[in-house]
Amino acid sequence: MARIDYSDPAKLDGRTAGIVAKNRSANIFRMMAHSPDYLRQYCRLGAAIRFRGELDPVLRELAITRTGILCEAPYEVAAHKRIGKSAGVTDAQNAALENWKGATCFDDVQRAVLAFTDEVVTLRKPTDATFDAIAAKLTPGALVELQLSVGFYIMTSKFLETFGIDMQPVEDLV
């Protein structure tokens, strides 16, 4: 149960209401709409992460979903398993993300991304060995995008959990 009330769409300014509506009135956006300026900037960076850049969408979604798992944010995990599937993440990969190290459904680049993600989330930064392994596989631009994706979704996961954002049907999640 949410720790504070969600914003009332009828009381939002037109621009903020439009952002919330464009995002299926998902609870995360209804909560974030309490701060319209922050919501707008959050959505700008989120759109850049999801729709622009050179990082392969499958790698991005594996990292985002794994971040949600490590941050214990079920809303994030459910949303990005769905998004990941539409980006090309297989059902086997989604199912294996909890315990990916023993899974055989990930290639070497995906494994390097998941190791990087685990260390960024749990250790604050990757070890030199993990950083060097992923840096050898991605361009500098894609590596920057990977780190910013993980960081953005740490923030998103913490937001979801701090405010107790209620789950919605998977198809309603962004």
Phi, then psi, of 42 in degrees rounded to 5:
-60, -45
Q: How far, in Å, CA of 45 to CA of 136, rounded?
A: 26
Q: How far, in Å, CA of 26 to CA of 142, rounded?
A: 29
Record the tokens describing residue 6, joined without a space.
Answer: 């969600």
**Environment class of 66 (CB within 10 Å of its CB; exposed 0-12, middle 13-18, buried 19+):** buried
pTM for this prediction: 0.94
For residue range 148-158, what is the model confidence (pLDDT) as tens digits? 999 999 999 99
Mean pLDDT, residues 61-86 taken together: 97
Residue 144's pLDDT band (cuts 50, 70, 90): very high
Quick one: pLDDT at residue 173?
A: 52
Q: Say if CB 67 and CB 151 are below 8 A apart.
A: no
Alpha helices in the chain (DSSP H): 14-22, 27-32, 36-51, 57-70, 74-87, 91-96, 108-123, 128-135, 140-162
For residue range 106-131, what is the model confidence (pLDDT) as tens digits? 999 999 999 999 999 999 899 999 99
Q: How far, in Å, CA of 37 to CA of 113, rounded?
A: 32
Statement: residue 172 has pLDDT above 90: no
What structural domains and CATH numbers belong to the chain? 57-162 (1.20.1290.10)
In whole numbers, what is the pLDDT of the chain averaged over residues? 96
